A = this chain, B = another copy of it.
Amino acid sequence: MLVTLKTMKEEVSFESVKEIFTEYLIKQKHRKTPERYAILERINAFDGHFNAEVLYNLMQKDYRVSLATVYNTLELLLNCKLIIKHQINGQYAQYEKMFGNNTHNHLICTNCGKVKEFSDKQLRISIQTRKFAHFYSSHYSLYLYGLCNKCKALLKNS
């Protein structure tokens, strides 16, 4: 049985997240390896955006896995929607957990590249309730480009 993901960060227990992952692995006839759960655990403890390399380096401390396995597991977690993938800069993909967190609105400074998240219930509802004739949406990402306070001030003097 799928557990409904809640708005508040505290409301999603790691047990229910693991359960979702397990159900997905079984359904897809994938194996329940300790590496996969160790990676999920590390992601659970992490707040904000991370990339494969960062996650790989963090993993060295508790449960050592290869970079290839990190990529493999991120793909699985993406498929069962436990994480979301962002490609904000051209260099590398960034990931973020989807559980206990549904603010996927980003402010991106086109000058310094800084990324800040914000939540807006009204906006979220407008986007999530939009219906389409031939498309069934499950989640979304919104990226707003512009200038942060600091860069706006800097550019004014040029």
A-side residues, CB < 8 A to B, are 85, 87-88, 90, 93, 107, 109-110, 116, 118, 120, 122-123, 126-127, 130, 132, 134-149, 152
Contact = CB atoms under 8 A, between A and B. Distances in A.
Nearest to A89: B87
A144 B134 contact: no
Contact of A141 (B132, B143, B152): B143
A145 B140 contact: yes
Identical chains bound together, number:
2
Contacts of A107: 132, 135, 137
Nearest to A27: B158
B90 A93 contact: yes
A148 B135 contact: yes
A120 B139 CA distance: 17
Given A127-B123, A127-B144, A110 B87 contact: no
Contact of A149 (B134, B142, B143, B146): B134
Contact of A118 (B110, B132, B140, B148): B132
Contacts of A109: 135
A78 B123 CA distance: 27
